Amino acid sequence: MTRAPLFGCIEAGGTKFMLGVARDCDTILDTVRIPTSTPDVTLRDALAFFVNASNQWGSFDAFGIASFGPVDLDRLSSSWGRITDTPKAGWTGVDLVGPVGNAFDCPVGFDTDVNGAILAESLWGAAVGADIAVYVTVGTGIGGGALVEERLVHGARHPEMGHMLPRRHALDLEFPGICPYHGCCLEGLSSGPAIMARWRHSLSELPQDHPAHEIIAYYLAQMIVAQQAFLSPRRVVLGGGVMATPGLIERVRTQTSILGGGYFGSVDFDGLIVEPALGDRAGLLGALALAQRARR
Ligand code: ZN
Residues 62-97 have pLDDT tens digits of 999 999 989 999 989 999 999 998 878 899 999 999
Cα(103) to centroid(ligand 1), Å: 36
SS3 state at 70: coil
Check if the beta carbon of residue 191 is closer than 8 Å to that of residue 142.
yes
Residue 233 CA to ligand 1 center (angstroms) comes to 23
Ligand 1 center–CA 134 separation, angstroms: 19
Helix (H) or strand (E) holding 247: none
223 alpha carbon – ligand 1 mean position (Å): 13
| Cα three-residue angle 29-33-35, rounded to 5 degrees | 160
Query: What is the number of other CB atoms lying within 10 angstroms of the CB of residue 81?
Result: 22
Model confidence band, residue 1 (pLDDT cutoffs 50, 70, 90): low
Q: From ligand 1's centre to the CA of 256, what distance in Å?
A: 21
Q: How far is the CA of 142 from the centre of ligand 1 (A)?
A: 9
Instruction: For residue 135, report the distance from its CA to the centre of ligand 1, in Å.
Output: 18
| Cα 250 to ligand 1 centroid, rounded to whole Å | 25
Residue 220 scores a pLDDT above 60: yes
Cα separation of the two ends of the chain: 19
- Crossing angle of helices 248-260/211-230, nearest 10°? 50
What average pLDDT does the structure give for the chain? Answer: 96
| 193 prior amide bond cis, ω within 30 | no
Label residue 136 exposed, middle or buried (CB < 10 Å: 0-12, 13-18, 19+).
Answer: buried
Write out pLDDT tens, residues 186-205.
999 999 999 999 999 999 99
Q: 225 in helix, strand or coil?
A: helix
Mean pLDDT, residues 264-286: 94
For residue 201, the CA-to-ligand 1 centroid distance in Å is: 21
Q: How far is ligand 1, taken at its centre, from the CA of residue 6, in Å?
A: 39
Tens of pLDDT, residue by residue over 159-181, are 999 999 999 999 999 999 999 99
Range name among 39-43, 74-78, 271-275 with the lowest pLDDT average: 74-78
Q: Does residue 20 register a pLDDT over 80?
A: yes
Between the alpha carbon of residue 185 and those of residues 39, 113, 166, 175, 181, the distances in Å are: 29, 21, 6, 12, 9
Q: Cα of 252 to ligand 1 centre, how many Å?
A: 21
Please report the domains of the chain, with CATH numbers, ordered by start residue. 7-113+280-295 (3.30.420.40), 126-276 (3.30.420.40)
- Centroid of ligand 1 to alpha carbon of 176 (angstroms): 12
Edge-to-edge strands of the sheet including 27-35? 27-35, 16-24, 7-12, 62-67, 108-112
CB 106 within 8 A of CB 32: no
pLDDT digits (tens, 9 = 90+) for 125-157: 999 999 999 999 999 999 999 999 999 999 888
CB of 186 closer than 8 Å to CB of 163: yes
C-alpha radius of gyration, the chain, whole number: 19
DSSP annotation of 161 reads G
The neighbour count for residue 26, using CB atoms within 10 Å, is 7
pTM of this prediction? 0.95
Q: For residue 5, give the nearest of 47, 50, 63, 67 by alpha carbon.
A: 63
Position 292 pLDDT exceeds 60: yes
Rounded mean pLDDT, 23-30 = 96
Cα 112 to ligand 1 centroid, rounded to whole Å: 17
As a whole number of angstroms, the distance between CA 135 and CA 142 comes to 11
- Cβ proximity of 57 and 33 under 8 Å: no
**pLDDT recorded at residue 62:** 98
Q: What's the pLDDT at 86?
A: 82
pLDDT confidence of residue 280? 81
For residue 7, report the distance from its CA to the centre of ligand 1, in Å: 35
